[in-house]
């Protein structure tokens, strides 16, 4: 039995918690800080996932064997290195990359150079800073719109601008490098070619040499139906992805996954953990839009129900460098998650709205995202509130079940997209 600490408080963590708690190898299980949903599977600890000192103390107090960072922030900030450099913590298994490996997500410039070195298909690009502002403007003027401007570092999902003309592109570029819109994160920017196609998310767990492929997923990022309106953290997800057929996935494996895992190994970058490939299919060919050094949210809410292997076993195999021994099994069922959100999201939204109807839900799993318990009642506590997730022999039935149950969870200002998975029905 292994004692486990999972970091994070979103729907992703709730889905991971649900999955871990089913393992015969899961001992005492903690989530920091967790939400009202994760408390059903383990013990929530009131610790921030960025507070390495407190996390370290909790690991010693509760004799933690495995630490799983859910979100990117602690990974990019170097939680792996923090643990490995501390004699008291260094034997704890961390399901996540070193600080150097997390740069795949933490720096767009790093990830673009990595892809260039390893011949991994991605949009053509150049990087610029305030010092090379004039060259950047000239590059924008030579490019054909739309033009994609990306802050180099983490920017809470807001660091990408798709400019429809050169004026808008220069404005976004100036705001980032000259006006430091995202502080340190936008001191450097990547300006790249716009790729026209359809996006999907592919996930692996790697031990640094071998890897297992997890179920792929598609998320729905915009707030409005028909993919309109501002970007959100994700309004729903489906798995499997109908257009990710065998032929396409073979290309993904040969051109993207293998060169990435081999590139990390050859460059001496320590990476034992999840890699999330944000891909786009352009005329049948896969390109990398971005890497993330963690699982996706809300993709994890549909990936975990389709993963038939024991997740703790996979993590132990990862730690032994023996993921090549594992035969990964994906359920043949389709899974669909519909995200219920708060009114106003992704702008300002209220918190603390009382929720009801949980007992009426039948046939769906509820992966809590922004919820909390207050005076014994479940209340809203974030923009994305709950992912209503269902599995069925086909996508249509999985969606129908999620929508049937989504209607039953009630709180003031509830909103959800009614068209998740619509293009595949």
The yes or no reply on residue 282 touching ligand AMP (CB under 6 A) is no
- Residues binding ligand GLY: what is the number (CB under 6 A)? 6
The yes or no reply on residue 192 touching ligand AMP (CB under 6 A) is yes
The residue at minimum Cβ distance from ligand AMP is 290
Contact 201, 178 (CB under 8 A): no
Contact 62, 5 (CB under 8 A): yes
Contact 347, 225 (CB under 8 A): no
Tokens of 106: 């933490």
Helix (H) or strand (E) holding 388: strand 384-392
Residue 192: which of ligand GLY, ligand AMP, none does it interact with, CB under 5 to 8 A by kind? ligand AMP
Task: Work out which of 64, 104, 151, 289 binds ligand AMP, going by CB under 6 A.
Answer: 289
Q: Looking at residues 282 to 301 of the shown chain, list those that interact with ligand GLY (rule: CB under 6 A).
A: 292, 296-297, 299
Q: How far apart are CA 402 and CA 388, in angstroms?
A: 6
Q: How far apart are CA 205 and CA 274, in angstroms?
A: 4
CB atoms < 10 A from the CB of 225, how many? 14
> Which lies closer to ligand GLY via its Cβ, residue 129 or residue 231?
231
Binding part of the chain for ligand AMP, among 6-14, 25-33, 128-136, 189-197 by CB under 6 A, reads 189-197
> Which lies closer to ligand AMP via its Cβ, residue 212 or residue 302?
302
Looking at the DSSP bridge assignments, the partners of residue 377 are: 374
Please state whether beta strands 26-33 and 43-44 pair in parallel, antiparallel, or not at all (unpaired).
parallel
Contact 195, 146 (CB under 8 A): no
The yes or no reply on residue 160 touching ligand AMP (CB under 6 A) is yes
Q: Between 197 and 226, how does the x/- string for binding to ligand GLY read (CB under 6 A)?
A: ----------------------x-------
Q: How far is the CB of 123 from ligand AMP (least distance, A)?
A: 4
Q: How far apart are CA 405 and CA 358, in angstroms?
A: 9
The yes or no reply on residue 190 touching ligand AMP (CB under 6 A) is no
Q: How far is the CB of 65 from ligand GLY (least distance, A)?
A: 27
The yes or no reply on residue 168 touching ligand AMP (CB under 6 A) is no
Tokens of 214: 């997890």
Residue with tokens 């786009």: 280
Instruction: Give the binding site for ligand GLY (CB under 6 A).
Output: 219, 234, 292, 296-297, 299
Which spans of this chain sit near ligand AMP (rule: CB under 6 A)? 123, 148, 160, 162, 192, 194-195, 199, 278, 289-290
């Amino acid at each position: 039995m292994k004692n486990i600490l999972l970091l994070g408080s979103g729907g992703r963590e709730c889905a991971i918690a649900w999955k871990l708690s089913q393992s015969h190898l899961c001992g005492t299980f903690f989530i920091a800080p967790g939400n009202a949903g994760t408390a059903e599977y383990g013990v929530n600890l009131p610790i921030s996932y960025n507070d390495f000192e407190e996390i370290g103390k909790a690991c010693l107090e509760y004799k933690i064997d495995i630490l799983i960072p859910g979100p990117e922030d602690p990974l990019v900030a170097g939680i792996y290195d923090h643990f490995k450099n501390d004699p008291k913590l260094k034997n704890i298994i961390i399901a996540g990359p070193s600080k150097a490996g997390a740069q795949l997500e933490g720096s767009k410039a790093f990830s673009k150079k990595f892809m260039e070195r390893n011949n991994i298909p991605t949009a053509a690009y150049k990087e610029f800073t305030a010092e090379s502002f004039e060259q950047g403007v000239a590059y924008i003027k030579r490019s054909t719109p739309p033009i994609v401007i990306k802050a180099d570092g983490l920017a809470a999902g807001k660091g990408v601008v798709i400019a429809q003309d050169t004026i808008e592109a220069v404005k976004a570029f100036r705001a980032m490098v000259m006006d430091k819109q995202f502080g340190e994160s936008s001191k450097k920017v990547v300006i790249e070619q716009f790729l026209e196609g359809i996006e999907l998310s592919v996930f692996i767990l790697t031990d640094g040499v071998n890897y297992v492929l997890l179920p792929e997923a598609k998320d729905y990022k915009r707030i409005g139906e028909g993919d309109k309106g501002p970007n959100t953290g994700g309004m729903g997800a489906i798995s499997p992805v109908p257009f990710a057929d065998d032929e396409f996935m073979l290309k993904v494996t040969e051109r993207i996954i293998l060169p990435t895992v081999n590139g990390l190994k050859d460059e001496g970058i320590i990476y034992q953990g999840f890699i999330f490939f944000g891909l786009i299919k352009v005329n049948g060919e896969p390109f990398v839009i971005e890497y993330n050094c963690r699982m996706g949210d809300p993709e994890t809410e549909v990936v975990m129900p389709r993963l038939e292997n024991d997740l703790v076993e996979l993590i132990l195999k990862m730690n032994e460098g023996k993921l090549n021994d594992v035969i990964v099994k994906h359920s043949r069922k389709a899974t669909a998650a519909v995200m219920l959100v708060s009114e106003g999201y992704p702008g300002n939204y209220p918190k603390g709205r009382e929720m009801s109807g949980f007992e009426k839900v039948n046939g769906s799993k509820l992966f809590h995202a922004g919820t909390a318990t207050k005076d014994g009642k479940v209340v809203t506590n974030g923009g994305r509130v709950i992912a209503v997730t269902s599995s069925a022999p086909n996508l249509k039935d999985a969606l129908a079940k999620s929508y049937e149950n989504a209607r039953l969870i009630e709180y003031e200002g509830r909103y959800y997209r009614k068209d998740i998975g619509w293009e595949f029905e």
